[in-house]
Amino acid sequence: MRAIQMHAQGGPDVLQVHELPVPVPRDDEVLVQVDFAGINYADVYQRNGQNPSALPAVPGAEGAGIVVQGNADLPAGTRVAWLSHPGSYSEYVAIPAWKLVLLPADISTREAAAAMLQAVTVQYLSETSYRVQAGDTVLLHAGAGGVGLLLTQVLKHKGATVISTVSTEEKAELARAAGADHVILYKDTDFVQAVKDLTQQQGVHVVYDSTGLQTYQGSMRVLRPLGSLVLFGQSSGNVPPIDPMTLCRSGSLFFTRPTLAHHVADAASLKQRTQRVLGWLREGVMKLSIHASYALKDAARAHADLESRRTSGKLLLAVSAAAQNT
């Protein structure tokens, strides 16, 4: 089978197509033919060494496809998706059965691959990391990214006021279309002062920050007392250690650094969160934004595009022949 394999960590060029054996599923696993693999910043962190991994490695933890060697509960031909299992940048992947999400007839494998990881991230960010309530004011960095556009829609559904930061006017339009109440072009405007002005100096209840190094200090400065900083990524670099007394002096702030794996670590948690997400998709609470699908051989270009911040919405790898014709 064809797969993207990396033998070193570094820039996008370490992502190379290789011929590898089709995996043989263990007793608790099924073999899935991958239609689409989701591309996420977690893959970038794995590739560039921010999240070191054993090498050689096939990146990608999210995807959707068709079971080709299954079991009684998941027979061959069943359409499934997954969001937390390595090796998705390949034509086939063997996955523990409990990690697979059975897709309803009205959700395509393309939609599932675009939704699973980012939408479940939105679910735990808004309902576990900080439980958003009607009337809350929220600052969301990278509001035109894949998570940002979905999170904005859910926040508005919950009755929050959303302040979004983006890099360009084009992305500002996307953020507004998703429902953002206020959009700040952070390259042109000091987001700290802008947020304070928008909130009459009171600050926001929560900041959702996936940018990290370049924004975390400003994020803390715009929180009201007892506010929460939810740091869920570090696209601009890792955040250094924070002295707990800084949180105290800044208003008894709450700080958390969640990650997906701990929120879907067992079958019950996975089912509860994915069913919540599938419900949002069916009800129209979430509308997906897919920026582009790339051929498997173009994984390096996809990573370069993602890191350049030239993209908005979700990036996918179209792996199977059927996916490439979609």
Domains and CATH numbers, the chain: 2-117+288-324 (3.90.180.10), 134-257 (3.40.50.720)
The reported pLDDT for the residue numbered 221 is: 98
- Report pLDDT for 2: 97
What is the structure's pLDDT at 245? 97
| Closest among 116, 125, 130 to 148, alpha carbons compared | 125
- pLDDT of res. 46: 93
Quote the Cα angle for 285-286-290, to 5°: 160
Distances (CA, A) of 296 to 253, 310, 320: 44, 20, 9
The whole-number pLDDT of residue 308 equals 87
- CA neighbor of 95 nearest in space, from 39, 28, 140: 28
What contacts 24+ positions apart, CB below 8 Å, involve 45-53?
A: 45/234, 46/9, 47/6, 47/9, 47/10, 47/12, 47/14, 47/15, 47/303, 48/9, 48/10, 48/11, 49/9, 49/10, 50/234, 50/238, 52/9, 53/9
Residues of the chain with pLDDT under 50: none
The structure's pTM equals: 0.90
